[in-house]
Amino acid sequence: MNNLAERDQAVIWHPFTQMQTAPLPISIVRGEGSVLYGADGREYLDMISSWWVNLHGHAQPYIAQRVSEQLKTLEHVIFAGFTHPTAVELAERLVTILPQNQAKIFYSDNGSTAVEVALKMAFQYWHNLSKPRRKVIAFENAYHGDTFGAMAVGGRSAFTAPFVPFLFDVEYLPVPIAGQEEIVLERAATLFTDEVAAFIAEPLVQGAGGMVMYEPEVLDKLFQLAKKQGSLVIADEVMTGFGRTGRLFASHYLQEKPDLMCLSKGLTGGTMALGVTTCTQAIYDAFLSDNKFKTLFHGHSFTANPLACTAALASMDLLLSDETQANIQRITQQHTAFADQLATYSTIETIRQRGTLLAFDLKAGEQTSYFNNIRDTAYNFLLERNVLMRPLGNVLYLMPPYCTTNEQLAYVYQQIIYLAQTI
Ligand SMILES: *Cc1c(COP(=O)(O)O)cnc(C)c1O
Cα 110 to ligand 1 centroid, rounded to whole Å: 7
One domain, residues 152 and 248: yes
Least confident stretch, 22-36, 74-88, 266-280, 365-379: 365-379
Here the CATH number for the domain that contains residue 37 is: 3.90.1150.10
One domain, residues 360 and 279: no
Q: What residues does 398 pair with on adjacent strands? A: 358
Residue 372 pLDDT exceeds 70:
no
Alpha helix ranges (H) inside 345-389: 371-384
One domain, residues 86 and 111: yes
Nearest CA to ligand 1 atom 7: 111
Question: What are the pLDDT digits (tens) for 303-352?
Answer: 999 999 999 999 999 999 999 999 999 999 999 999 999 999 999 999 99
Measure the CA–CA gap between 85 and 62, rounded to whole angstroms. Answer: 19
Q: How confident is the model at residue 366 (pLDDT cuts 50, 70, 90)?
A: low
Measure the CA–CA gap between 219 and 201, rounded to whole angstroms. Answer: 9
Residue 87 pLDDT exceeds 90:
yes
Here the CATH number for the domain that contains residue 260 is: 3.40.640.10
Average pLDDT over residues 134-145: 97
Q: Among residues 281, 302, 319, which one ends one of the domains?
A: 319
- Please give the single-letter amino acid code of residue 141: N
DSSP letter, residue 256: S
pLDDT, position 208: 97
Alpha helix ranges (H) inside 84-175: 85-97, 111-128, 148-152
One domain, residues 146 and 290: yes
Instruction: Supply the DSSP string of 192-206, one letter for each residue.
Output: --TTEEEEEE-SSEE
Q: Are 354 and 328 in contact (CB under 8 A)?
A: no
Q: Cβ contacts of residue 26 below 8 Å, gap of 6+?
A: 5, 38, 44
Q: Among residues 264, 293, 319, which one ends one of the domains?
A: 319
Measure the CA–CA gap between 366 and 374, rounded to whole angstroms. Answer: 11
For a mutational test of ligand 1's pocket, the pick from 107, 139, 143, i.e. the residue with the most ligand atoms closer than 8 A to its C-beta, is 143
Average pLDDT over residues 235-263: 98
Average pLDDT over residues 130-139: 97
Q: Are 135 and 168 in contact (CB under 8 A)?
A: no
pLDDT, position 423: 87
- Find how far residue 57's CA is from the centre of its chain: 17
One domain, residues 107 and 29: no
Q: In which domain, by residue range, is 193 found?
A: 64-319
For a mutational test of ligand 1's pocket, the pick from 48, 205, 239, 260, i.e. the residue with the most ligand atoms closer than 8 A to its C-beta, is 239
For a mutational test of ligand 1's pocket, the pick from 175, 264, 354, i.e. the residue with the most ligand atoms closer than 8 A to its C-beta, is 264
Locate the ligand 1 atom nearest the alpha carbon of residue 142 and give its number. Answer: 13
Measure the CA–CA gap between 386 and 35, rounded to whole angstroms. Answer: 10
Q: What is the dihedral of CA 184, 185, 186, 192, to 10 degrees?
A: 100
One domain, residues 362 and 311: no
Q: Among residues 293, 319, 345, which one ends one of the domains?
A: 319
Q: Cβ contacts of residue 187 below 8 Å, gap of 6+?
A: 173, 174
One domain, residues 281 and 413: no
One domain, residues 193 and 113: yes
Task: Name the average pLDDT for the chain.
Answer: 96
Q: What residues does 360 pair with on adjacent strands? A: 396
Residue 148 pLDDT exceeds 90:
yes
One domain, residues 231 and 362: no
One domain, residues 25 and 148: no
One domain, residues 183 and 271: yes
Average pLDDT over residues 110-118: 98
Q: How confident is the model at residue 370 (pLDDT cuts 50, 70, 90)?
A: very low
Q: Is the pTM of this model over 0.95?
A: yes
Q: Which one, of 158, 131, 136, 132, lies nearest residue 149 by Cα?
A: 136
Nearest CA to ligand 1 atom 5: 111
pLDDT, position 2: 67
Q: Domains in the chain: how many in total?
A: 2
One domain, residues 365 and 412: yes
Q: Cβ contacts of residue 152 below 8 Å, gap of 6+?
A: 136, 167, 168, 170
As for ligand 1, residues whose beta carbon falls within 6 Å of it are 110-112, 115, 143-145, 202, 207-208, 236, 238-239, 264
Q: What is the percentage of the chain residues whose pLDDT exceeds 90?
A: 96
Residue 365 pLDDT exceeds 90:
no
